[in-house]
Amino acid sequence: DIQMTQSPSSLSASVGDRVTIPCRASQSISDYLNWYQQKPGKAPKLLIYAVSSLQSGVPSRFSGSGSGTDFTLTISSLQPEDFATYYCQQSYSLPRTFGQGTKVEIK
Amino acid sequence: QITLKESGPTLVKPTQTLTLTCTFSGFSLSTNGVGVGWIRQPPGKALEWLALVFWNDDKHYSPSLKSRLTITKDTSKNQVVLTMTNVDPVDTATYYCTHETTVTPRRFDSWGQGTLVTVSS
């Protein structure tokens, strides 16, 4: 199985900050990397797929980068509605696997 | 527009079998490439992928739960059913049904609202 690692598990930031969230795969997954946002009590929502493609309706302040094993989700200017937990997920192979999540909290 | 909705018991006793149904609309499970999967999330914890069934009835399971899971599809009813045997309190979680895209790189682009299942005597 491909293990997905997200660290830190949480971070504190202020509105307007630039935030970067890393994700590492245990082996190369090419560009088969997706990001999801989850708010408390809600189902996860697809943000970015194929490393850097924004899902329809997602604000342009979100971006993704990386290749192979190391990936990053960037929020260019954090907004109040962005405080949530973010998960990376690989679709390179089965079983599909998720990272442990990074919770973005208000500083 | 794709919608998915999970249904099933909210409370099950340890050692019992849990059966969850995903009823969906906006796509057909007979369309080449389509997949429907199940993902769960224990309270306060991370997402865990459980199982996936494809349009051609190809089925895949989490290795750690494979012996306890069965996923089936009913294309005529637009439903996917997940069965988990011998449940334990650690199986307490919100269970989500998801649509996996037909195009690659694949992703879970639509999710159900989730259903909370509690395992307790």
The confidence score (pLDDT) of residue A47 equals 98
Mean pLDDT of the region A18-45 = 98
pLDDT in tens, B7-57: 999 999 999 999 999 999 999 999 999 999 999 999 999 999 999 999 999
The confidence score (pLDDT) of residue A27 equals 98
The confidence score (pLDDT) of residue A3 equals 98
How far is the alpha carbon of A99 from chain B, nearest alpha carbon, in Å?
Answer: 8
Q: Which residues of B touch A97 (CB under 8 A)?
A: 49
How far is the alpha carbon of B71 from chain A, nearest alpha carbon, in Å?
Answer: 14
The confidence score (pLDDT) of residue B103 equals 87
pLDDT at A107 over 90: no
Tell me the DSSP string of B34-96.
Answer: -EEEEEEE-TTS--EEEEEEETT--EEE-TTTGGGEEEEEEGGGTEEEEEE-S--GGG-EEEE
Q: Chain A contact for B60, CB < 8 A?
A: yes
What token pair was written down for A6? 């997200």
Mean pLDDT of chain B: 97
pLDDT at A54 over 90: yes
